[in-house]
Structure formats: C-alpha cells, structure tokens
C-alpha cells in the first residue's frame, strides 16, 4: 500500500492518507476529513512500510480523488468569499468590542462551515458574535484561537536560512523550544539571532539539540580549571562538534585538549 503526505489547504496540517489511484507530488487532492471532506497538496508519496511513516499513521483515511478544474474554481471562489466574510466579521468584532485580532478565515470545501482564526492574549467570550454570524451566513460558524506560531504558519515567510518557514513545509506539530537548546549549541543568545518571524525561538533550534547534548557529555565547561599534561589551566572555549577544549595555562600558553570518546 502506498501513502501520501498531504498539506491541507495552503498552510495547514501535514496529514497521511492512503493512495487509491495514480497520485504524484504536487497534485491537488480531495481527502476525507473529520467532518466531511477537505483538500490539500501532496508533498510526498511513500510506501506504507517506509520508516518515515510511524505506527500511529498506519490506519489512515483515503484520498477521495484529484481535484478537477471545477473543484479548483470552487476553491478560488471560496477564498474570495472568505475574504469578504472576514471583513464583515472584523466589523462585528469591533462592534462587540472584543479583545481579539482576526488573522484569517476559510470556508470548508462544501461551504457548510466557515472558520475564523484569531489571536488574543486571553480567553474571549464570542458567543453573541457567533450567533449573529450564524444568522448572517446561515452556516456553521467556528472561531479558532491560534498562537503567534500558528499565525506565522498561516501567512508564511522566509527564515534566516533563506528557506520557506519549516512550519509551512514539513512540521506537523509545534514542539517546545527552550533557551537551553541555544546555550547547548553555543549559539548567540541575542533574541534577534535565534527568534523566528513569529517572535518565538526558532523551531530549528531543536533539530540538532540531541546530538549536541550527547557530544557534550564528558567535556569540561568554560571557566573550569583543568589539569593537562602541560600543567594546570582554565578552559577558555569548547568545540562540542570536534570535542576539543582550549585551556589557558598559568604561563599564558593555550593548550588544545582532545576528548576522543563520549563519556
């Protein structure tokens, strides 16, 4: 059995679906969703036994079919009408004086539901707003609060590496990222150097953290006093990847100490 990784909508979740017909990367497809159907773009097609597919993704739903020209036209119309709906909703938010910022809106493929995405510093009681919107649109209304990282995923952008944001391309979920990860990798701790366009620590700080943590085992810390074959000295710097420590001896000389084996 072959399976496909499908990016739902423009920058939604990356989901796994069973391939039931000739499907290729970059195909736009209609897929089974929790409530009805949804659509997305195929970003990868692999064998179901591939190591890239974890055990939780074995029992998966199927791709319904490729999108037809008529489907694509409907999606474009949905996107246009969603923008109009967002302008109306923004006006209603101001009328109700709600402490929320609308960032996006989208219709379901069959236009039975519209989702409004918003950010807010706290909880928002939008029940009256939803009631009025339901009367206006006469379909199901969903208000979905998202964080600043989700907002970056929705709008997209380019990271300092020159590539499209990881959250747009392949990240399925946002994992916790801490300042400790930057310190372990000896990265500059300036927020401008290690923060993404969302203002939070960059997701990529976690990619090599485990390797740095393992390679750091058994290495001395900067400032630590160390006994060397040439005498006692203070560690001035540590190269984690090469497992080297530079020690300033009492007479001012710099000694390079190699730590070959991981402790």
Determine the average pLDDT of the residues in 39-55.
72
pLDDT in tens, 68-116: 999 999 999 999 999 999 999 999 999 999 999 999 998 988 888 999 9
- What's the chain's length in residues? 263
59 has a pLDDT exceeding 60: no
Single out the residue of 244, 243, 222 nearest to residue 234, CA to CA: 222
User: Between 35 and 251, whose confidence is greater?
Assistant: 251
Mean pLDDT for the chain?
A: 86
Tens-digit pLDDT profile for residues 169-190 = 778 778 889 999 999 898 888 8
Question: What integer pLDDT is reported at residue 131 of this predicted model?
Answer: 95
* Residue 263 pLDDT level (bands cut at 50, 70, 90): very low
- Cα angle 96, 99, 104 (rounded to 5 degrees) comes to 90
pLDDT at 149 over 90: no
Sheet containing strand 140-145, edge to edge, reads 101-107, 113-119, 140-145
pTM above 0.95, yes or no: no
Q: Which domains, ranges and CATH numbers included, belong to the chain? A: 2-65 (no CATH), 72-146 (3.30.300), 152-211 (no CATH), 225-258 (no CATH)
Q: For residue 52, what pLDDT is reported?
A: 56
Reported as a pLDDT band with limits 50, 70 and 90, residue 38 is confident
**2 pLDDT higher than 90:** no
Contact residues for 113 (Cβ-Cβ < 8 A; gap 6+): 35, 107, 139, 140, 141, 142
């Amino acid at each position: 059995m072959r399976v496909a990784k499908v990016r739902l909508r423009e920058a939604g979740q990356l989901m796994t679906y069973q391939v039931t017909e000739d499907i290729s990367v970059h195909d736009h497809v209609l897929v089974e969703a929790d409530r009805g159907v949804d659509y997305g773009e195929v970003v990868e097609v692999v064998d179901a036994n591939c190591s890239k597919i974890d055990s939780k993704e074995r029992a998966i739903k199927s791709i319904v079919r490729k999108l037809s020209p008529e489907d694509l036209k409907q999606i474009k119309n949905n996107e246009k009408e969603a923008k109009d709906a967002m302008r109306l909703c923004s006006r209603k938010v101001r009328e109700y004086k709600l402490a929320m910022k609308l960032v996006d809106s989208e219709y379901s493929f069959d236009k039975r539901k519209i989702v409004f995405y918003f950010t807010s510093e706290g909880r928002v009681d939008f029940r009256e707003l939803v009631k009025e919107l339901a009367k206006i649109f006469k379909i199901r209304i969903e208000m979905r609060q998202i964080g600043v990282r989700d907002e970056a995923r929705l709008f997209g952008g380019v990271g300092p590496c020159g590539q499209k944001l990881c959250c747009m391309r392949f990240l399925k979920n946002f994992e916790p990222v801490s300042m400790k990860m930057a310190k372990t990798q000896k990265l500059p701790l300036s927020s401008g150097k290690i923060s993404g366009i969302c203002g939070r620590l960059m997701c990529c700080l976690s990619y090599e953290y485990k390797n740095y943590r393992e390679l750091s085992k058994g290495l001395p810390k900067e400032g630590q006093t160390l006994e060397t074959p040439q005498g006692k000295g203070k560690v001035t710097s540590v190269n984690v990847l090469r497992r080297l420590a530079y020690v300033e001896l009492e007479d001012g000389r710099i000694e390079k100490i190699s730590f070959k084996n991981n402790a």
